[in-house]
Structure 1
Amino acid sequence: MGMLFANDANKERVQAVVGNVHRMGITNTVISDVDGRRLPEDEADILRCSQLQNELLLAAIDCCIAKSKTGGYVVYSTCSVLVREKTALSIVEENEWVVDYALKKRNVKLVPTGLDFGKDGFTK
């Protein structure tokens, strides 16, 4: 299955796109509201930050003592470099894709925090 990227610099039109995507039941869509001329430079920033996050998360995992009673816990939390122009793409690449990378590279699993805040990302 592919991924659909939709962008419109007009935030009001983006709201309509989001509504239509939900109405049609499309789940593989990333929608942003940035000036389309800036997408290539934003993407480069996101990719650089994602690679750094991959390395930092793996290093934190490697610091845990696997033979300890609990094996250790790593809490992964980020804030975006694109504070003013946060896009759905940056959220996925800076968070979910980084966690997915760590899950594939190390023998780790996600565990519930017991905290009720934020929006659901990975569930397994």
Structure 2
Amino acid sequence: MKQAGRAAMLARDFFSRYSGLIPDYQDFLDSIKGPVPASIRVNTLTGSPEKIRSALLSQGLEVLPSPLGAEFLVLPGLESPGRLLLYLTGHIYSQSLGSGIPALALAPEPGELVLDMCAAPGSKTTQMAAMMKNLGRIVANEPSIKRHPGLMANLHRMGVSNTVVTSYSGQDFPMRVRFQKILVDAPCSGEGNGRMDSQGCLVGTGPRRGNLQELQHRLLLKAFDLLEEGGVLVYSTCSYDPMENEAVVERLLQERRARLLPIQLNIPHEPGITHWEETQFSQELANAWRIYPHRLKTVGFFLAKITGA
């Protein structure tokens, strides 16, 4: 009965609070009808994008490029990339375009020491390992032991060899080591996954539960404190809620000597907002990115790139 109650919620009603926030709001509502088009990331540790694209085409699949670069491909009409042999052998990873942007913004390089603070199931960890060519070190931290088997399986399947797994609560991660790059893909409401079924009902997410802002704040604060001088972090969520996004970053700016960096990627997006209802945010928040499904055919995302002032 609980699931039925969720299914009866109209997507239009659920997202109505953002009608004045999301540009071209009706286009946004139209864009979330039906499932998100399938997309995959080519594992460059095991093969080139050109070879994988050719292999997909040889199976009769439609393969389209994406704005994220050659490693990300869109496969319209494919229901489950996870059933492909290329997936099982670690040549591709089923990953939304929105999910791929935070690691691209962070841009970890071979030889660096990187922390993925909330790592499971490993989408961004494996992506960063490929970007680093398995050189340097990634600490994939996942506080939920129950999620470790899936994380470890993905690391193994994708041929990742530069990563160690830890299980600290992110907000209590020990201060013994400083990192050059940190990704905080924080626990969130998951609103960005919300879609509209054929009856107009909300699917893919549910009613907002509890207040995640305090946990998100503590994670971001700890991540900033773990940066070495000159280090960079990216904070991201798959939520549209400014209280999970700009408000969390604003608190960091007030409590630490931090600043937002521009994100130098050529990907469709909207800037972060500088006010929400009665709350004003720093003008720096315009450097953050909001990813909307009517701008890029994917799930909704927020990200901010941060360093010391």
Normalized against structure 2, the TM-score is what?
0.22
Q: Which runs of 5+ in 2 are unaligned?
A: 1-9, 25-206, 273-284, 288-309
Q: 2:235 aligns with which of 70, 76, 95?
A: 76
Moved runs in structure 1, 4+ residues, more than 6 A?
A: none
Give the match's secondary structure for 2:243: helix
Structure number with bigger Rg: 2
The alpha carbon displacement at 1:57 in A equals 0.3
CA distance 1:64–1:10, change in 2 (3 Å)? closer
User: 1:119 aligns to what?
Assistant: 270
Aligned-CA RMSD value: 2.9
Q: TM-score, normalised by structure 1?
A: 0.51
5+ residue gaps, structure 1, are 1-8, 23-40, 81-89
Task: Classify the secondary structure of the residue corresponding to 2:260.
Answer: coil
C-alpha displacement of 1:79: 1.9
Q: Percent identity?
A: 34
Cα deviation for residue 10 of structure 1 reads 8.2
Counterpart residue number, 2:216: 53
Matched, 1:104 2:104: no
- Quickly say closer, same or farther: Cα 1:117–1:60, change in 2 above 3 A: farther
Q: Aligned match of 2:228 in 58, 61, 65?
A: 65
- Measured in 2, the distance between the counterparts of 1:111 and 1:11 equals 34
Aligned length: 77
Report the Cα offset of residue 123 of structure 1: 1.6
Q: CA deviation at 1:120?
A: 1.1
1:11 is aligned to 2:5: no
Gap change, CA 1:10 and 1:118, over 3 Å in 2: closer
Q: Which structure shows the higher helix fraction?
A: 1
Counterpart residue type for residue 217 of structure 2: N
When you count strand as a share of all residues, which structure comes out higher?
2
Question: Where does residue 94 of structure 1 map in the other structure?
Answer: 244
How far, CA to CA, are the matches of 1:55 and 1:10 in structure 2? 31
Amino acid at match of 2:270: K
Identify which of structures 1 and 2 has the higher relative contact order when contacts are C-alpha pairs closer than 8 Å and 6+ apart: 1
Distance in structure 2 (CA, Å) of the matches to 1:76 and 1:53: 9
Where 1:91 maps in the other structure, the secondary structure is coil
Q: Distance in 1 between matches of 2:218 and 2:271?
A: 23
- Check 1:117–1:55 CA distance in 2 against 1; reply closer, same or farther (3 A cut): farther
Counting only pairs closer than 5 Å after superposition, residues 39-50 of structure 1 correspond to structure 2 as 42=208, 45=210, 47=211, 49-50=212-213
- Cα distance change on mapping 1:109 and 1:10 into 2, 3 Å: closer
Alignment-mate amino acid for residue 75 of structure 1: V
Cα distance between partner residues in 1 of 2:11 and 2:220: 35
